[in-house]
Structure 1
Amino acid sequence: MAVSSEFDPSLALSHKFPDTSHSYTERDAALYALGVGACAWDAVDSDELKYVYHENGQEFIKVLPTFAALFTFNSMPNGFVIPGLEYDPRLLLHGQQYIELYKPLPSNCHVNHKVCLAGLHDKAKAAILEFETKSYEKESGDLLSVNRTTVYLRGAGGFSKSSKPFSYTNYPRNQVPTVKIPENKPFSVFEDRTQPSQALVYRLSGDYNPLHSDPMIAKVAGFSQPILHGLCTLGFAVRAIIKCICKGDQDKIKSISGRFLLHVYPGETLVTEMWLEGSGVIYRTLVKERKRTVLSGYVELRGLTSSL
């Protein structure tokens, strides 16, 4: 659908999103962990049982760092809504995700969110929106995480008022490293098969887009069947890095960036390749059955040592 000529991008950028809050419990954190494949093939996995069970008498379960990605949806319960910008939600695609973590996520927490529109771009046949969500622990006031979410709205472009396409972003330059996949052999490779029901489990963590569950909606969007959530694929990739590079210590993850390149069908096998680079890891995730790259990005780590 073409965007109405009445849409004013400057008014959209000045739009103030209401502050929101929500609470989660360790049940939510455990359900999320299962949704991104933790303990799927080994119910007592020594690296991952702590995400779903009070292992060795620990008082609280541990929380995967990618759980913070859910805060984007918790902070915008009505979806990616911008005044005056009309689009078909069935044609929305998640393009990129950046997550910065400031402290380990508690297993139970009341969270306050502040959202702003950080970028808006007219690509003629599509619009690109960039949202920033800052999430704070209510009790202490501490900043827990910052999410920057990029979505592509197919059919929502063409709103520029001049011959030069409208483009605005307030993202700091060079904050997210440009990822170039090395040509040398990966430092580590991890293979993990998704379950045929993976998207149905993951959606219980709050992303109820029917593209991931309804066969008819998937066909309208151009897919042969419902596809896996991009953030679920990201969760699989970061789990691989925690296992192979962080030696099971999820608190070493400082920031995560991911670019979603292609869809994944539930039941496919994900192969994540990892290269050490600077203070972090360049990674690439491929679908084994189709030999296609579906995700790439960079994860910055705390305390990456030369012993690796």
Structure 2
Amino acid sequence: MPIDVEKVTSAPPVRAAAVWDDREVRLYHLALGAGVPEADPAELRYVYEGHERGLHVLPTFGVVAGGSGGVGFQVFDLPGVDIDLAAVLHGGQEIIVHRPLPAAARGTTITRVPAVYDKGKAAVIVQESTLLGEDGEPLITQRNHIFVRGEGGFGGDRGLSERLRAPDREPDLVLEIPTLRQQALLYRLAGDWNPLHADPATARRAGYDRPILHGLCSFGTAVKAVTDRLLDGDVARITECRTRFAGVFFPGETLRLRVWETGDGYRLTATAADRDDAPVLTDARISPGPPSPR
């Protein structure tokens, strides 16, 4: 079996360097669609290193810090994992923020696989990574669920099915966010080189008529939108964010974001407005802390 569950879950954590500077931060934000309008101070804080209040860093940058394509995506280098990238989808993501991310650092990632779940027709690899700052203390901890089609049925634990359903009422905010046709090509520069997001032949082999956008790009775009509209751009307020990737999104489509304010923060969903609101993100939440000191 391409996934040796015992071998991968018992493997020692993988440590790797994660080095980044403000250029990578700015490029990441541009790949999310930041910088429009180009003279708007609210946009320049994400893309201009000379901004008067310093360069803002979204916490979602932490999962691509150092050009790894995702703090946790060293899973493909772990013993016991030999899978076809065309069979892989990102099922879900959770980010716990311990402290704000710096615009430049020489950090370290520590990655392990605590579980592999058997979903019948697929396996789900649960991957946990912690990004440490230069002082050796955690910046973020992230967990992602890697959905591998065709690798289930091995008799393992199915895992819990934790859902965060949207409130049964009209949303408090609806946003329509256009994307670029080349957005996946831009986002690949963050380090996720999966050809599913660039190569038409790979996309067809995976069952799509053209390359799809990275789920983390859609999620980062949604987190930025909520931060800008509801948190006054205060990226340091975000203490946790999470989502389930419910469907594909194609570059060039319009992302329709619905947001509900709740007692524990904000719930949100995202759909493809161009395809009859086909689901893109579900079970999503952003948890903010108090405003940062000015």
**TM-score when normalising by structure 2:** 0.91
**CA distance, structure 2, for counterparts of residue 283 and residue 80 of structure 1:** 30
Return the match for 1:249 from 220, 234, 242: 234
**What are the residue-to-residue correspondences of 1:99-248 with 2, within 5 Å?**
99-138=95-134, 140-158=135-153, 160=154, 165-167=155-157, 178-248=163-233
TM-superposed CA distance for 1:86, in Å, is 3.3
Q: CA 1:9/1:56 → structure 2, altered by over 3 Å: closer, same or farther?
A: closer
1:204-257 CA-to-partner distances (Å, cap 9, x unmatched) read: 011110000000000000001000000000011101111221122111111010
Partner of residue 79, structure 2: 83
Structure 2 stretches of 5 or more lacking a match? none
SS for the counterpart of 1:167 is coil
Partner of residue 293, structure 1: 279
**CA distance, structure 2, for counterparts of residue 89 and residue 122 of structure 1:** 18
* Structure 2 contact 62–71 (Cα < 8 Å) conserved: no
Return the match for 2:55 from 58, 61, 82: 61
Structure number with greater Rg is 1
Matched, 1:92 2:88: yes
Q: What letter corresponds to residue 156 of structure 2 in structure 1?
A: F
Return the match for 2:265 from 280, 285, 303: 280
* Structure 2 contact 70–192 (Cα < 8 Å) conserved: no
Partner of residue 263, structure 1: 248
Structure 1 stretches of 5 or more lacking a match? none
**CA distance, structure 1, for counterparts of residue 279 and residue 71 of structure 2:** 30
Q: CA RMSD in A?
A: 2.1
Q: CA 1:154/1:29 → structure 2, altered by over 3 Å: closer, same or farther?
A: same
User: Percent identity over the alignment?
Assistant: 32
* Number of residue equivalences: 287
* Structure 1 contact 273–284 (Cα < 8 Å) conserved: yes
Question: Greater CA deviation, 65-74 or 11-20?
Answer: 65-74
Q: CA 1:76/1:240 → structure 2, altered by over 3 Å: closer, same or farther?
A: closer
